[in-house]
Amino acid sequence: MEEDAETVVPDEIMCFHILPTLPAKFLMRLRCVCKPWSSLIHNPYFISTYRNIRRHRQHSHLLFLSHEKDATQQRIFSVEINKLEEEGSSQPLVATHLRTLLACAPHRLYYAQSVNGLVCFSLSNTSNSYLEVLENPSIHILNPSTREFITLPHASRMYHTEYVTHHFGFSPLTNQYKVLRVERYDPRWSSLSFIFKVFTLGTNCSWKCLEVDLSDLPFDLSNFQFSNKSVCVHGAIHWLHEPLNIIVVFDIEDERFRVIELPPGVGVHPRRRLAEVDGCLALMDGQWQKYTMGLWVLKDYQNKVWLKDNIAFPFQYSLVQGSGTGPVRLHQYDMKSKRFRIGEIILPKWKHNHNQVLHILTSYGEDVVPLSSS
């Protein structure tokens, strides 16, 4: 009796239909199997395929920063929030320790922004995690899925800086990640008001100064704070411009500024902020009632079509972050079912005490973008 012929999976099926469905941690182990597979996992087309297949899991994880007030060690943890079951589940979410960082007091807070699974964060010396004052902070890029970590070159600056802030973006057209650096100067001491610089990952170069004609910008710079939190979607970085009631946009590809009008009927409110919802730009209205928050989603980015939704909370909404005085509970809202799910997070090596501080940095999805060659 003849033996059955061996079943051979075609290379194309294996490389672009099977491997991209595997978790990033497992793919990192496969790099050691053979050189062709190691080269494949770093192939730009494979990375793009991996990202497209897992697009529905863009925010499948949360990143936490934990530290004690009187210690120099800061620990970064990750937790997979897609494992959170229906409300009432008693199964806790166990966080994974990714890195331990050293910092000198009072440098405690990290501004973090996630784009396609990469996280850009910088050390701040103020209580406002989006404002970096008087210092020239170091900028770091982390891939939590592969645990690769790099520090960008320091950018020189002049004296009399009011603030220095950084924003992270990605262009799907050029497949490039860029960090935008904004330096604002005190007009009493300098003829310059703003300087813009860009660093492109993977180019092995230094920061590039942008030639921006401030008088030709489509928005008023006098009352605008680039230190506000930004959101990157559709290949552009977005900020709220509160006084003018518009959204300032910086295109990653052509490195130019433009504006987007807010939906009609949205008033100025100090607690408004931008967010990303299912790959779309969204605006948290800010004028919520005790248990309800308005959410505007830019469903059609090209034609600027906004859709309004209301999120009803089963508890009083609060912007106050917790500290280490009890269990860490995560409230997750499902936009489709319009229901909340609540889970408890366990952080290893984390003690519940009044001296412990815990911050949610950002959410991210698994990706295999390499940093070692950046």
Q: In order of start, what are the domains of the chain with their CATH numbers? A: 6-53 (no CATH), 54-364 (2.120.10)
178: how many CB neighbours lie within 10 A of its CB?
Answer: 24
Cα separation of 121 and 283, whole Å?
A: 23
pLDDT tens for 108-142 read 566 789 998 899 988 665 544 444 444 567 788 99
Q: What are phi and psi of 270, to 5 degrees?
A: -65, -20
Identify the pLDDT of residue 169: 96
Query: Is the distance from CB of 322 to CB of 265 less than 8 angstroms?
Result: no
**Do residues 166 and 196 make contact, with C-beta atoms less than 8 angstroms apart?**
no
Residues of the chain falling short of pLDDT 70? 1-12, 16, 56-57, 69-71, 84-91, 102-110, 123-136, 158-159, 188-192, 204, 267-270, 286-290, 315-327, 349-355, 372-374
Mean residue pLDDT of the chain comes to 78
Q: Rounded to whole angstroms, how far apart are CA atoms 245 and 267?
A: 8
Position 133 scores a pLDDT of 45
